[in-house]
Amino acid sequence: MDHFFRLLGQVASQPPTEKPEGSGFPSPLPQISNEVSEVVQAVWLNLPTNILLGVVLATLAIATAVSQWLQQKPPANINPAMIRRFDLRVRAWWLMCAILVFGLLLHRVGTVVLFGLVSFWALREFITMTPTRRGDHRALFWALVIFTPLQYVLIGLGGTTVYRHDGRPIDFYGIYSIMIPVYASLFVPARIAIAGDPKKFLERSAQIQLGLLICVYALSHAPALLDLKLYSSRGDRWLGSNAGLLFFFVLICQLSEVFFWVSGQLIGKTVIAKDVSTSRTWEGLFGGVLATGLAGLCLYWVTPFEIWEAAILSMVVAVMGFLGAMTMSAIKRDRGVTDYGSLVLGHAGVLDRIDTLCFAAPVFYHLTRFFFSR
């Protein structure tokens, strides 16, 4: 199943036969041979990835046991509301871990489809929260039913080799990297204008564009990590698991949230923006970023990064995740709501749980692609 898109690409467009010498048209056959060799050598879930998964499951099991113990014998010096919040967070983490592992077990296609469904639901929550008019319905249909699936189809095809009529391979990265920021962003306001309702036109267009950009385009960079051909900073080909790198990224994002919360509770004093979030402080930000860097340093063995590289990238992920959480909190305050939805037990909607992923995914992807891919 994990080779579905690759087979689709090969069936859709067979490479041309080798041209005679001197034709000025090099044969793509050696390139195909090398790619097949790389696919055969690749391991979807290698030993380091399985070890990391086992560590995460064991940690969640310990957290569940601690939560049950605290609820049965709550200490006098701990607020019962904090214990309840911790229990709900642990349940939400179990659910997120189960969904991600389920997608990884279905290999590459399952993972891409999983993130596509998450994007669809997150965009639905975002649009439901924002006011719309009758003239927006066709544009919303295009955003939810056309552009969202198309973005992930292009991500899926990014792992295949489809040839043009002249024998050159199609670069799907060049398509899905601009499809929403350029084509969808131009199409949405044009479609609303055609509907003939100019009232609050700028606001209505911008909120659909922003929803597509955050919930679909930004998040789609996470499964795009699966298709990178990675090298270490020394120039050696990395033979690890791209699925492990994706798991590392998601784990770092979730750990950063925990570290921000813990740091804020322990040393937080100076609130950054009290009208946006009263719990996020400068001390919590610095403490959370440093703790996330240490976590990335300890988990570098799952990635193609050196120890210091893993620490720096983890801190970058933490900062972007923090900015994402602040941005989405500001949107909620503007709309007068506390949560984006109620699908995830214990922590509101899907978008409340993936706001850090949405902002960190494109930055992590492009830094990895720029420095560790060829």
| pLDDT digits 0-9 by tens, 214-269 | 999 999 999 999 999 999 988 889 988 999 999 999 999 989 988 998 898 889 88
**Angstrom distance (rounded) from CA 357 to CA 324:** 8
pLDDT at 342: 58
Following DSSP, what letter does each residue of 55-67 receive, concatenated?
Answer: HHHHHHHHHHHHH
Q: What is the pTM of this model?
A: 0.82
Please choose, from the candidates 224, 134, 137, 135, the residue with its C-alpha nearest in 3D space to the C-alpha of residue 179: 224
| pLDDT digits 0-9 by tens, 112-127 | 999 999 999 999 989 9
Residue 138 has pLDDT above 60, yes or no: yes
Residue 71 has pLDDT above 80, yes or no: no
Using left for φ > 0, alpha for ψ between -120 and 50, and beta otherwise, residue 26 falls in beta
| pLDDT digits 0-9 by tens, 38-69 | 443 457 888 888 898 898 889 889 988 888 88
pLDDT at 161: 76
Confirm if 286 and 280 have CB atoms less than 8 A apart.
Answer: no
**Angstrom distance (rounded) from CA 213 to CA 172:** 18
Confirm if 216 and 109 have CB atoms less than 8 A apart.
Answer: no
State the pLDDT confidence band at 319, using cuts at 50, 70 and 90.
very high
State the pLDDT confidence band at 341, using cuts at 50, 70 and 90.
low
**Angstrom distance (rounded) from CA 154 to CA 8:** 12
Burial status of residue 6 (CB atoms within 10 A of its CB: 0-12, 13-18, 19 or more):
buried
CB count within 10 Å of CB 333 equals 14
Confirm if 212 and 284 have CB atoms less than 8 A apart.
Answer: no
**Angstrom distance (rounded) from CA 61 to CA 94:** 9
